[in-house]
Amino acid sequence: MVAIRCSIRMEVPLGQTGELVVSPEYVRYLVRTANCKMEANKKRMDQFLDLLQTKGLSGSSGLLNNCNGSNRHKGAKKNDEYLVNKGTNGGNNCDADDRGDSEIGKGSLEAQYFETQDSTWSKAVEHGLGNAKRFTLEKLPQNKNCHLSTAALKISGEPIEKLFLWGQSSCVFTVGGEQQVLTFGGFGGPGRHSRRNYSLLLDYKSCLLKEMIIKESPSPRMGHTLTSVGNSTYVIGGRGGPSEILDDVWALQSTENTWLRLECSRDIFRPRHRHAAAAAASKIYVFGGLSNEGVYSCMNIFDTKSKQWRMLTAAGEWPCARHSHSLVSYGSKLFMFGGHDGQRALNDFYSFDTTTLRWNRESTNGGTPSPRFSHCMFIYKNYLGILGGCPITENNQEVTLLNLNHGVWFSVSIPLLSQCLCVRSSSVVIEDDLVILGGGASCYAFGTKFNEPITVDLHSVESMFNVDDNKFGMLIQSCDVMSTVDLSGDEQNGIIGHDMKSQNDAGSGGFTNSGPLVLQLEKKYAKLAKDILKKFGWLDLARKVRVSHDNSHVLFPVNEAFHVLSDEHIKMEHDDPCALGESLAFTEKKLAGDNLSLLNALKMLSSCNGSFLKDELAISRKPSKSPQTVMKELVSSLLETKGMPSRLLEQLPTRWETLGDIIILPKTCFKDPLWESVSEELWPLVAKSLSAQRLARQGKIMPNGTRDSTLELLLGDNGWVTHHENGIRYSLDATKCMFSSGNRSEKLRMGQLNCRDEVVVDLFAGIGYFVIPFLVKANAKFVYACEWNPHAVEALRRNVHDNNVQDRCMILEGDNRVTAPKGVADRVCLGLLPSSECSWVTAVKALRVEGGIMHIHGNVNDSDETRWLDNVVESISNIAKAHGKNGLSWNVSLEHVERVKWYGPHIRHLVVDVRCRPI
């Protein structure tokens, strides 16, 4: 075995770092063992240390000494021992939304995922944020009742915009014996979006929304928790601003409708947001969360009777630090799923027993939900459900249900969810209904979206899984044998983008000198073996569990640590089934808890009569390399050949965009003048690493009237490219015209309008960004397209022809203030940024005397939004009055405000729909 050098962050206490020379698999084992009481396990540790020394592994004793001095896992821990500092997290900035009030604006963790999911989001938007597939249970017997009906809530009373929130929290609240939904806080709301402190009551049956009138309320916040205990509801923590992380506790009495800030005692509860909370008996359990210092992995308990906090000391397999996860109660147990650890999205599933105070990582079967955070989780009878979250995949438009009696996951696709973006939403179960409130997102790529409230009828869930125990037992056995292990690394993140790394770049996994190994066992031992291998970290997560060709054995990919241990203690030989001692009577009780020793685990596996085999499938597959790795290797070789400094490698791109078949590099890469001397050899190498035919580098859009592109073509004959979006074909010369993918949501919205009998005038047509959606999707009767950039006009002519709408479009080349028609339009589009005010007079003249609608674009500081909207209405009214000799008698009003995207810090791209009606 070849020892490698690695750095370990110790789990106990969190934050300590040790450095040693040892294989990663042995390190995992040592850390697990160090989490036990050292005195009780000293003999076992000494035995294992002797084993390490016989294998020639150095540095082991130093790690053990560190662990001996830190015997705290089952004893009391200090708060900061549960805190993973952000400075050591790496990866995504887990609190990046400090950059603006949007909270999920550009720079936030969610926005980073959305930006890297451009292709996924494009497909999702095209199909309505997800494909609404039919619900199927492939391994279950046929069942006729397989549909969960959904309905959008038609809100009355308070404006529905008060529910346009994300990061809020909701729970059941009883009023006059009737259960309603209480929602508090969140970001969004009517007018200018901000953090709120509404206390909203929704009667989901009548759809009546009321705001509770309360003298004193918790301060505006988001990322808090709202938990009901008896007749009281408690708000804990949250985030009031970029530097305002809260630790307060407020209680609302259902009988008095009064918020009261509680004075809490005993242990300190550190400020946090994006934590999770659930109640059992009279206590509220809070796990994890995020602060300005880092991510928590502590469990705090708030006793609602004594008003005291205490830090929990618990046994079992303690979950890692995380935020944006979910926690629900089920009897005396709590269940926790997913979240984000500061580097990646998680899909681990834990239970916590509130009577024994013990964590357990649950082993389940079926289709485990994909890694996610900022999702919803709920309990309905004997089922646990998970929906939504980030990263967005087609599966996020499903509800994934876990049968808690049998431990099997199933997914139910719900059509109405395909229209939602359930990120940072709330879900509440009342009787047989699941009420989903709030959620959405905002980032540069697709703008802002809030979800409307919906309900899901859950009453048919039980009938879907009404099968007898024998059939379910066969199902579970089948799932155990055929299921694959969880993915690791970037595959867990679920990000579809160009900055992913191949899992094979990280290390050799289970590859020994003789190649990768699998442990072959009979099917009847599959579940037992899988549980043990996963428990001790011996399963190689980089490869899949599979079944042998004769379908009689299961092949478990194992890592080098297990092979060495087995060879030492059990003498299993390669390619030769082992004949090992007496068989044991295996029961689930023997695997319960952390009492199973290393030696007993090996003995239990040895009695399964298994054998080590070379993993021929893995050997035959050439490990793939990430594009970044290939690029670095190729360019590094070029620099070495030319005698150029290796520091230039720092300028290699880590991200890029795709427009048609052109790969567009960021303008910050390859900026050193030295690159020019090797450009002829450099660009083909970069293109080869990215599998690109053409290569370009981004530049600034020229701030002139024609908005010329400065895209620099690095490799290729010309810049003409075809891009497909929302079912529409756009062609353009990318070196001469700009293409804004960030307007995708607004192009989609324009295409969803009903313009069948309307004449539209687009004063800034460009290559047809909105002209084509008006014609192809909205079925406009006729469109006048005004554009003065000759390069854009050339592309526009091609695009109307390629989309077969040339007979309903007239292209008017030149300044729209001269060329635009007058008195013909039912609708005028003014899609110019940063402001289209130069053509507001032209737009008023283009409308018919009877009025119509104007879609006015502009970049607006978020603090000036109200003033800008008022100015738009006032200006259009004044222009109309001054039009012609007698003016136009119009009533000008705002019909809709679309917040498309953040254009920059605190600068938002807005589109306001202005309705002009005759008085």
CA distances from 30 to 45, 74, 221, 449, 525 (A): 9, 17, 42, 47, 27
Q: Is the pLDDT of residue 816 over 80?
A: yes
pLDDT range class, residue 712, cuts 50, 70, 90: confident
CA distances from 503 to 57, 488, 625 (A): 26, 7, 8
Collapsed DSSP state (helix, strand, coil) of residue 561: helix
Collapsed DSSP state (helix, strand, coil) of residue 470: helix
**How do residues 418-455 score in pLDDT, each as one tens digit?**
667 789 999 999 988 999 999 987 765 556 788 889 99
Question: What are the phi and psi torsion angles at 360 (to 5°)?
Answer: -145, 130
Report the predicted TM-score, pTM, of the whole model to 2 decimal places: 0.47
C-alpha 744/C-alpha 900 separation (Å) is 9
Alpha helices in 847-909 (DSSP H): 865-882
Q: Which residues contact 827 (CB under 8 A, 6 or more apart)?
A: 755, 758, 759, 760, 761, 780, 852, 853, 854, 855
**How do residues 83-128 score in pLDDT, each as one tens digit?**
675 543 333 333 334 333 344 444 567 766 665 554 444 444 443 3
Q: Are 296 and 324 in contact (CB under 8 A)?
A: no
Q: Which residue in 326, 280, 319, 325 sits closest to 303, CA to CA?
A: 280
Q: Which residue in 877, 873, 868, 878 sits closest to 894, CA to CA?
A: 873
C-alpha 898/C-alpha 911 separation (Å) is 5
C-alpha 747/C-alpha 38 separation (Å) is 63
**How do residues 167-182 score in pLDDT, each as one tens digit?**
999 999 988 778 999 9
pLDDT range class, residue 585, cuts 50, 70, 90: very low
Output the six-digit token pair for 477: 């056995």
Q: Which residues contact 332 (CB under 8 A, 6 or more apart)?
A: 280, 353, 354, 355
To the nearest 10°, report the CA torsion of 774, 775, 778, 784: 50
**How do residues 521-560 score in pLDDT, each as one tens digit?**
888 888 888 888 887 778 887 788 888 877 788 999 988 7
Q: Is the pLDDT higher at 130 or at 706?
A: 706
Q: Is the pLDDT of residue 737 over 60?
A: yes
Average pLDDT, the chain: 76
pLDDT range class, residue 495, cuts 50, 70, 90: very low
Dump strand ranges (E) for 196-272: 199-203, 208-211, 225-229, 232-241, 244-253, 258-261, 265-266
Q: What is the DSSP letter of 523?
A: G
Q: Is the pLDDT of residue 206 over 70?
A: yes
Q: Which residues contact 881 (CB under 8 A, 6 or more apart)?
A: 887, 888
C-alpha 780/C-alpha 773 separation (Å) is 9
